Amino acid sequence: MGRLLIGALALAGAALAGVAHAQAPGATARADYADRANWLCYPGKANDACSVDLTTTIINADGTSRVEQFKADPKAPIDCFYVYPTVSTDPGVLSDLKADPAELNVVKQQLARFGSKCRIFAPMYRQFTLAGLRAMMTGQPLPGSTDPATRNTGYQDVVDAWNHYLTHENKGRGVVLIGHSQGSGVLQRLIPAEVEGKPIQKQLVAALILGSNLPVEADKDTGTFKTIPLCKSATQTGCAISYVTFRETSPPPANSRFGKVQQPGMVAACTNPAALGGGKGELKAYLSNGENIASSTGATPTWVKGKPNPTTPFVAVPGLITGECVSKDGFNYLSARINADPADARTDDINGDVGAGDLILKDWGLHLIDANIAMGNLVDVVGEQSKAYRARR
């Protein structure tokens, strides 16, 4: 993950709404999801992208620390099916089906930790690339980028992967759908078409629609998903969690693409994974360590003042970050408060802003770390939902 070039995990939002919801059938040859090479993560796959080092240094307020090891559960009782965000650095409009460092890194950041609660399925798909989106947003679209069939290819890939999973792997198991950014946009189309009203809906444990504006009717819990309400507790199943993240000190500016929707009578959903019933809660972040993710100052933080940074790939900072869903100036969003304290030995800032050069793009908020900032909460919630789902079967 990086400061954006314009950036690895971003460029979704409003720009991707048309991509995710294009309706024409794909014109390219269908991907073969019986071939494990077309999956990032698949149980038993050689070189599974989710079999990565998730070791974390947990740093306490007094500067002391301990190392937390991670172990996936190969006998996890439910499944997770994931659609990744806009990360492809391929040069054309659509990505290929070969995993590059960007795709490998995003499952490490956003998905692999769920392996303690579920078997993980993550297909490659021919997504709209960063190059295609940059060109489209600058008014100079690449050849083919406006063709409906081209724009539908990625969605059709995910549908084909989903159907392969249902046919060959599901076998009546509960399933969590997870997406971020462009991936969440794809799920906002797939769920109404392929899940709601179908037998598989009874097996839906939850849908995590992260870093994307999920429309719901004002003062209600349904909208785009007509029969899948927002989650209000960790024992509720068949529900959705959705939010976009901004710093408390830098709320969405008027031009932000996140936290609002265009549909009349609808608002963007916000469910706080740290307090599903409402209010504030501690965000149990698993933050990437030693990678050049932007911060509000543009600098990489030193986790403990006066000490070298740990060498583990992730860092956790209990009590440093609090989250609360906020409705303000027409936006609904997860407001992240950094509980900076001069008496706290730890950093007073975290990375995660979207940047272009030395400029922080405040309209993107903390889009780069929508998943990281609440990863511990999300994994805990999925674990509790798994127990509740199985208890009701």
Question: What's the pLDDT tens digit per position in 264-284?
Answer: 999 999 999 999 999 999 999
Task: Provide the pLDDT confidence category of residue 27 given band limits of 50, 70 and 90.
Answer: low
Rounded CA-CA distance 280/324 in Å is 5
How do beta strands 287-288 and 314-316 pair? antiparallel
Question: What's the pLDDT tens digit per position in 52-109?
Answer: 999 999 999 999 999 999 999 999 999 999 999 999 999 999 999 999 999 999 999 9
Q: Is the per-residue pLDDT at 175 higher than 50?
A: yes
Q: Is the per-residue pLDDT at 15 higher than 70?
A: no
In terms of Cα–Cα distance, which of 223, 177, 236, 171 is closest to 385? 236
Give DSSP secondary structure letters for 108-137. Answer: HHHTGGGGGTEEEEEE---PBPHHHHHHHH
Please, what is the average pLDDT of the chain?
90
Quote helix, strand, coil % in the chain, to nearest 5.
Answer: 25, 20, 50
Rounded CA-CA distance 15/137 in Å is 7
Task: Provide the pLDDT confidence category of residue 299 given band limits of 50, 70 and 90.
Answer: low
Could you tell me the CA-to-CA distances from 117 to 174, 286, 324, 363, 384 in Å, in that order? 11, 16, 25, 34, 9
